[in-house]
Structures are given as C-alpha cells and as structure tokens.
Amino acid sequence: MFDQIDFPYLKEQFFDFIKAVGPTAIKAILALVVGVLIIRLLKRFLKRFLRKANIELSLRTFIESLSIFVLYGLLFAIIGIILGIQATSFIAIFGAAGIAVGLALQGSLANFAGGVLILAFKPFRVGDLVEVNGKLGEVHKIDILYTRIQTFDGRIITMPNGNVANSDVDNRSMNDIRRIDLFLKFDFKEDLDRIREVLYASQTKHEKVLKEPEPDVRLDHIGDYEMVVTVRSWIQSDDYWPMYWIQLEAAKKGLDEAGIALTIPKRGVYQLGEDIPKAEENNST
C-alpha cells in the first residue's frame, strides 16, 4: 500500500503549503503573542486607574471583565483578518451574537444599566438609610444587577436595579443633619405662649440637639376643634431615630409637668329633642 503513495509529490505539496501559509501563520502567531502582552499591560493600567478613581468594587470588576472580553475579541478579529477571513464575517458574527444575547437578557440588561448608573452616580451608598418604592431601610449591598435593603425589623429586600434607577430615592443619610418634626394638638383654651415656652425648653435639653439651626416651636395651623403646634429640632443624621423617640418623650413630660394637656377628640351623643349645651356644641366632634 505504501508503495503506491507518491512521497516526493506529497513532500513537494507540503513544502508548497508551508511556503504559501508559513508567512501568514507566523504573522498570526506574532500578532497573538504581541496582542496578549499588550492586553496584559492594558489590564494592569486599567486596574490602577480604576483603583485611583475610587470606583465601586462591583463596577470596577465589571469594567475590567468587559474590557478584557472586548480586547480579546478585537485580537481574534485581527488574527482572523491576517489569516484571510473577511472583516465583514466577524462583524456579522458579533452582530448576531449581540442581538441574541440582548433578546435573551432583556430584563437583565435593564437591571445592568440601572446598576451602572447607581454605581457611577452614587445616589446612595452601602450603609445609607433610604426609602425606595415605599420600602425604608439601610442599604445592605449594591450589586451590578440588584440592590439589597435591610429593614428595621431585620428583613432583606432585593430590588432590581432597573426599578431602583427609575424610582424616586429618598436618601436620608446624604446630609449630615436632619430635622425632627413633632405635631402636637391642643385645645383652644390653652395659652399658646406658655405652650411654646414649655416645648422649647423640653427640646433643647438633650446634648445631641444642635444649637444651629436652633429648635423652634410654631403654630402650624388651626383646625375645626384644635390648634396644631409643630415642634422642630435638628440632630445628626445617624442619631435620628433614637433622638426622635427621646424628643417626643421629652415633649410629653414637659407638658405634663406644666399642667398642659393634649387635646382629646370628643363625641357627644344626644337624644332627639334634647337641648345641646353651647360649650359641648362648640367642642364636640
């Protein structure tokens, strides 16, 4: 069988193939080696740049991975062109792959875009107290696709970043100080100046209450059966909830010591034809 094989002819064909393909293959191998070295250098430079830019770790990791993917894609496209593959073929392949991935991950891409916006523009950070879509809690973790919020009762709520990025975010930790508002109702017969004096004294006792802006007590509005007084004091944002309860309790104790009572809703019941006392007619609800 081997006697029938024309080895000189095969040898000639092999060398012709090497002569034809050899230079191109060498160019492709050199391009691969040089390209890999360049990608590694670019990767190191990108890591240093992102670290110095103080970009969030989740976004930093994603940018690095995406950059490496794109760079290797370009390298293989260049090698393919060196080997004689038309550039339009690569464009068609990448285009088809992009369309397929986009359709399959339509919801995830929206979450991804939202995650990039959150990590880039930082409307909130891990540890901030926020309210999003009616959910109030502390930001527990920010991923590229989801944000996790821990509520005060210990629940973890996972929110798609696409929804978070398109919602109103109430960040209650962004400012260093916050205001405590108390709304208290009093009977019309109470002395407003005395109420203001007692409440102001009760709200300025605690050491964590800021002197500037100064606490104030104002008549907020007059209702049908009571007057509503607003008591406001400023504290550090981190102390808001403990101080809210302390200030509310201080207001109640101060009023009790001064003999000033909060108004109590009343309801009078009378039989048909019975005369209604004038005082009851004015004060009952």
Select the highest-mean-pLDDT range: 9-13, 224-228, 279-283.
Answer: 224-228
- Phi, psi of 234, rounded to the nearest 5 degrees: -110, 140
Of the candidates 175, 178, 186, which has an alpha carbon nearest to the alpha carbon of residue 208? 178
Q: State CA 242 to chain mean position distance.
A: 24
Residue showing tokens 């100046």: 193
Over the range 115-151, which residues count as b (16 or more CB within 10 Å of their CB) and which as e? bbbbbeeeebeeebbbebeeeebbbeebebbbbbbee
Domain 177-258, classified CATH 1.10.10.60, yes or no = no
The residue type of 107 is G
Domain 122-171, classified CATH 3.90.1150.10, yes or no = no
pLDDT tens readout for residues 210-263? 999 999 999 998 988 899 999 999 999 989 989 999 999 999 999 999 999 998
- CATH 1.10.287.1260 range(s) for the chain read 2-104
Of the candidates 13, 105, 12, 116, which has an alpha carbon nearest to the alpha carbon of residue 61? 116
Of the candidates 264, 258, 243, which has an alpha carbon nearest to the alpha carbon of residue 184? 264
Contacts of 111 (CB under 8 A, 6+ apart): 145, 146, 160, 161, 162
Q: Indicate the length of the chain as a whole number.
A: 285
Q: Which strands, in side-by-side order, build the sheet including 146-150? A: 156-160, 146-150, 135-142, 129-132, 169-171
Which of these CATH numbers, 1.10.10.10, 1.10.760.10, 3.30.420.40, 1.10.287.1260, describes 2-104?
A: 1.10.287.1260
pLDDT tens readout for residues 51-60? 887 776 666 7
Select the highest-mean-pLDDT range: 8-12, 45-49, 264-268.
Answer: 45-49
